[in-house]
Amino acid sequence: MVNSERSGIAFSVHPVTEDYNQLIIEAGFGLGEAIVSGSVTPDSYVVEKEPRRIIDVNVNFQNRALYRKAGGGNTWIDLPEAEGSKQILTEKEINELSGIIVGIENHYKFPCDIEWAFESGKFYIVQSRPITTLQPKVEKKEGKEEKQPEISIGDWKLIITRNMSFWHQYLSSVGHSLNTKDFGVKAKNIQLSITVNGTETHLFAKPENMKEYSAAILEAVSSEVKIKTLKNKYKKFAKELLDSLKKCDKNLNVKTWNDFVKNYTRFCAGLFLTSVIGRAGLEKLMQKLKEKGYKDEEIPEVVSIITYPSLHTPLFDSQLGLLEIGALVQKKKINQKTIKKHLEKWLENFGFIPVNFCEEPWSLKDAQKQLSDFLKKDCAKELTYSKKSHKDRVSNAKKIFKEIKDEEISILAKALAEGTYLNEFRKNVFSRVSLGYRKIFSKIAKKGGSSNWRDCFFLTATEMTEVLAGQKTKIKDLMDKRQSVGIVVNDEDKIEFLKDEEEKSFKEYLDLLHGKKSEISKETKIVKGFTANKGKITGIARIILNSADFHKIAQGEILVTTMTSVDFVPIMDKAGAFVTNEGGITSHAAIVSREMNKPCIIGTQNATQVIKDGDMVEVDAERGIVKILERSPEYSRGADNGVVRILEKK
């Protein structure tokens, strides 16, 4: 058995960036158990494989180390500050260990998760296993594409899991293939989707296509004129969609329905566009800031400030509206009868916000509950703070732009800020539309022998046209066939249904990714992502995949999900921090975290797979790391649970 002087773990492919030309080493004093258990924060070294060079060194203070006792067993030993502050591996040792890691990867021919130890001047490899959290790698060799053997689903990568209906996703897939050009983007987005129970949709894309699509989007926002043009297109297409909905609602027939469907399909092409601005634009902006001399630890905060939108999002305005009502109540300027009228007016302006695609609007009861929560605070003080905080963020952005004096960085930041605003703008358009078409769906459902408008979620728009035209269609039969359904856009921009075996393989992959099956080692206790809003907090993790899970989260617990949407807002208000698999700086979670000023880590890729419901976790949004402090496989929340300890929150 190796009596380690120093030890650690290594990944032959960087698990966060998924760059196959980078490896990462984590190192600590003493036995490796201290790092694996998360008891100490190790040094980390990122090494480029070809050409071989160290590109990042992060040294952390280690105040104690675990060593083997002479008589057996292990013991913790406190380290003097001078010792604990040292870089654990020298440059020569990092390069030596890197060579060993690359050799192991080449031997097994797949990315490896490695545990290593160092004793008496020699490295020892104590364990090696496949990395199971990477997405597919597609690389060209002699004109052909080859996939890296790992947990993947062919050439497809999961990009979004969302509560979206099959009806919507069918049109969205068509729109992303045919209508992106209408937004000034010279590339298609080819999609594959799996929809379960009519509304649980998982969206996949091909990395090669995403690369082309992302580049085209960045080109479409590469100047202030282009950014303004894109914004105007969103406004124009939104108006035409809402106008066509009104006409369809007033006089439902095949012509008005098809016109509505045409406008809906086109506006769908703007759905993923703003998300990609947030992801691809963020990567490019971070690189530019690094070239400008900003340190890695400074970049997330700088990005958060300079990409903050100057315009309020509808969600932010809704919260200000409730605070204004609350301030009037606390000053005794309105009575109970008047409160109801104020809330009804508030609902006229904001009640649609949580609808998104499939959810219900806020009711008077919901508004009263939100107001009740606000009344626990000093509403006038919170209102002043929120407005001042927004103003300060916008002002800080201007100051940083003056310091940077870089046109390309300014354009990228403006694109991200406008992308953040447009992300929420188009969500609210779809929320209004999704609420508005329900009467139309009810009429069509009735013609198809159903009494529930939601049954139309299982149909295509063409099938609904056929029902309107008088063709006999049994909606219930289609529902039975489509409890689980997969579709993909083919090379001719047509929709094809997946075969049963293809669909089954995607569903097995989804079960693995969402933690229903697990191939992640129980020893994996760290998840890494990008900081959307800074802060540090410890609490119980709750895996929330959709609205059916909302009841699980208690005040102050940690929300862990694939990606948030507007219907998540009430539980986000309760949560102590947010951790998501997906999303960039323009994502809903990133926006809300900044508006609520809560710690948030986005883009982890695998948080819902590694973290289990009930785990005690530390969300360190200063460094973009979630650490599992204590596993709880069968956690059952009692009256005393949900208590959290705030370590640091800025």
* CB contact at 8 A, 571 and 168: no
Helix axes 407-436, 254-268, angle to 10 degrees: 150
pLDDT confidence tier of residue 595, bands split at 50, 70 and 90: confident
Q: How does pLDDT run across 517-547, given as a tens digit for each residue?
A: 444 445 568 888 888 888 899 999 999 987 7
Q: Compute the distance between CA of residue 645 and CA of residue 577 in angstroms, rounded to an integer.
A: 12
Could you give all domains of the chain from N- to C-terminal order, each with its CATH number? Answer: 6-130 (3.30.470.20), 157-292+414-436+483-509 (no CATH), 314-405 (no CATH), 526-648 (3.50.30.10)
The DSSP secondary structure of 311-330, one letter per residue, reads: SPPHHHHHHHHHHHHHHHHH
Q: How does pLDDT run across 236-248, given as a tens digit for each residue?
A: 999 999 999 999 9
Tokens read off for 326: 């609350």
Q: How does pLDDT run across 468-518, given as a tens digit for each residue?
A: 999 988 899 999 999 999 999 988 889 999 998 888 888 877 776 555 544
Q: How does pLDDT run across 621-645, given as a tens digit for each residue?
A: 888 899 999 887 654 333 333 333 3
Tokens read off for 85: 């502050």
Q: What angle do CA 581, 583, 584 make, to 5 degrees?
A: 135
Q: With a threshold of 0.85, does the pTM exceed it?
A: no
* 117-122 average pLDDT score: 90
Residues 6+ apart with CB under 8 A from 48: 21, 22, 54, 55
Q: Compute the distance between CA of residue 115 and CA of residue 26 in angstroms, rounded to an integer.
A: 10
pLDDT confidence tier of residue 219, bands split at 50, 70 and 90: very high
Average confidence score pLDDT of the chain: 85
Q: Compute the distance between CA of residue 283 and CA of residue 583 in angstroms, rounded to an integer.
A: 12
**428 three-class SS:** helix
pLDDT confidence tier of residue 38, bands split at 50, 70 and 90: low
